[in-house]
Amino acid sequence: MKAIITKVIIHENERGFLFKNGTYRRMLQPGKHRVLTFLGETFARTAIDKQINVPGTTPEVLMRDGAFGNNVVKIDVPDGYVGVRFENGRVAGVLEAGRYFYFNFCGEPNNDGNNNGNGVTFKLFDISKVEIEGLTSEQISRLPQDAYQKITVGESETGLLFLDGKFSRALTAGAYYFWNTKTAVTCEKVDLRSQELEINGQEILTADKGFVARELCLRLPRYGRCENYRRDKELQGTYLYRCTARAERIRRQIPFRRTFGAKGQYRRHGAGKTERAARRVLCRVYGSRA
């Protein structure tokens, strides 16, 4: 036989909602309650630490009840923004565009954008500015990992930041955080340390029909100046253009071969003078010490 009266226990971390014939009546506080099912009464319950979602009704209907409305925080996140929710000053989640309702039993609501009070608070962020500002690195680490991306630039590097494939600015050493939005954020890291480049196996046919092999070791920056980025004042004086070892080796071989291979200039017994001349040519053209 179906019970005509149902005994309900609402726990401290819950709230109950009483309905009669599908119409909301009142909110049930923690404790024991009787639901008169023979009169068409039903109930629902929800946890107070979750977003309010009561089957069979909407938060707007529940807000008509003063006992409910006085203990709820309403959060409106407009298009183009994300909301960060705080509970007692600690990051509790990220909200996309929409309307949300949360219980606020742990303190008075404080929706002025500050997160240093008790209770449920929130802060809005304009995601057209893809870089996250206004949150500490510790707070950002508490956000869901799919909500942001982290870019780290080392001490000997410069980061080239691109938004939707378009160059934005240079990033110095440090950690940077960006919202995961429809804007594609990429960073090309540039190693600013110098490298040694060896040009070996240069066999030259001398004027007296002999073969002489010479090697050249250069210490040069790995990056030359990139004309595409000179318009940005931040990038002036920064080495940003990547020169691959193969391209640089070919670039240096041409004057090296030309100087050592000039007819009548190089003889096996007079190599020192011509080699010194070649070094002076390379230093004058490229500004590197060979």
pLDDT at 117 over 70: no
- Return the pLDDT at 219: 57
Mean of all residue pLDDT scores within the chain: 76
- Return the pLDDT at 1: 47
Segment 45-68 mean pLDDT = 90
What's the CA gap between 75 and 48, in Å, rounded?
16
pLDDT tens column, 119-152: 888 999 999 999 999 999 999 999 999 999 999 9
Buried/exposed code over 161-177 (b: 16+ C-beta within 10 A; e: otherwise)? beeeeebeebbeeeebb
CA separation, residue 266 to residues 187, 260, 282 (Å): 49, 6, 17
pLDDT at 174 over 70: yes
- Return the pLDDT at 192: 77
What's the CA gap between 72 and 53, in Å, rounded?
12
For residue 241, which of 156, 154, 160, 163 has the smallest C-alpha distance? Answer: 160
pLDDT tens column, 227-272: 444 444 444 444 444 444 555 556 666 666 666 555 444 444 444 5
pLDDT at 7 over 60: yes
pLDDT at 277 over 80: no
pLDDT at 160 over 50: yes
Q: SS3 string of 100-162?
A: EEEECCCCCCCCCCCCCCCCEEEEEEECCCCECCCCCHHHHHCCCHHHEEEEEECCCEEEEEE
